Amino acid sequence: MKVLVPVKRVIDFNVAIRVKADGSGVERTNVKMSINPFDEIAVEEAVRLREAGIASEVIAISIGPRECTETLRTALAMGADRGLLILAEQDIEPLTVAKVLKAVVAEETPQLVILGKQAIDDDCNQTGQMLAALLDWPQGTFASKVDIKNGRISVTREVDGGLQTVDLKLPAIVTTDLRLNEPRYASLPNIMKARKKPIAEKTLADYGIDATPRLKILDVREPSKRRTGERLGTAADLVGKLRQAGVI
């Protein structure tokens, strides 16, 4: 069975975000970019499935500018077998991404698509669910454990009250939570090998999907800053302050 893993190129999670003064967005020039951490977990899970003999091939796919090739190379170095880059210059909405992925699913016929539960840039948490809807597939979101047997997949999900396990018919969609696995570091030989793995290239136009955003982003602002606080010497001082503030 083939597994498809979409990967997004985002500002590295360690970078301090700066909002542009003109309100047009956040600073992206000369900023370290990385694979979205949740997608890295998705790649790891797919590679483990192949290593366990459950998956036959892992295909990484990225939609965005040419630089997404680097993101795909990261996935290939971790063990994905081949890549697909779909060139798109503009920012595209999760629903559009889901539509493109649906078209790729029709071409590649995977039994499983594993996505990150959210991208740490727009924090939308939508794409996997939307893809599941468009395909009429079941979804196991926010997964912390997956188990595939006899054409079905059991997914343990991180929910508000604890953990919920659902049993889904394959083909299915899984979105990853942080505790699904700990992604490996790609070894140097694997990074070298990844350079030789194939990356096919397409454009959004090849899929005939209108990528015009429907939500209009009016501007991006700095959140209000908290005022600097006070250092207190002892826990007794703290209790005094909290009483004064009337919170305890």
Contact set with ligand FAD (CB under 6 A) = 13, 37, 120, 178
Is residue 41 packed enough to be buried (19+ CB in 10 Å), middle (13-18) or exposed (0-12)? buried
Window 170-199: residues binding another protein (CB under 8 A): 177-179
- The kind and range of the H/E element at 96 are helix 94-108
**Whether the Cβ atoms of residue 65 and residue 95 lie closer than 8 Å to each other:** no
**DSSP 8-state assignment for residue 22:** T
Residue nearest to ligand FAD (CB): 37
**Nearest residue (CB) to ligand FAD, 37 versus 140:** 37
Window 68-97: residues binding another protein (CB under 8 A): 93-95
Write down the least CB distance from residue 200 to another protein, Å: 26
First to last CA, the chain: 58
Q: What Rg do the C-alpha atoms of the chain give, in angstroms?
A: 21
**Nearest residue (CB) to ligand FAD, 37 versus 83:** 37
Q: Is 242 in the site for another protein (CB under 8 A)?
A: yes
- Rounded to whole angstroms, the Cα distance separating 161 from 123 reads 21
**Whether the Cβ atoms of residue 62 and residue 35 lie closer than 8 Å to each other:** no
**DSSP 8-state assignment for residue 85:** E
Q: Is 106 in the site for another protein (CB under 8 A)?
A: no
Q: Which of 24, 106, 169, 206 binds another protein (CB under 8 A)?
A: 169
Q: Which of 117, 143, 180, 183 binds another protein (CB under 8 A)?
A: 117
Q: Is 103 in the site for another protein (CB under 8 A)?
A: no
Window 197-216: residues binding another protein (CB under 8 A): 213-216
171, interface contact from ligand FAD, another protein, none, CB < 5-8 Å by kind: none
Q: Is 17 in the site for another protein (CB under 8 A)?
A: yes
- The kind and range of the H/E element at 84 are strand 82-87
Q: Is 159 in the site for another protein (CB under 8 A)?
A: yes
- Rounded to whole angstroms, the Cα distance separating 3 from 7 reads 13
Q: Is 235 in the site for another protein (CB under 8 A)?
A: yes
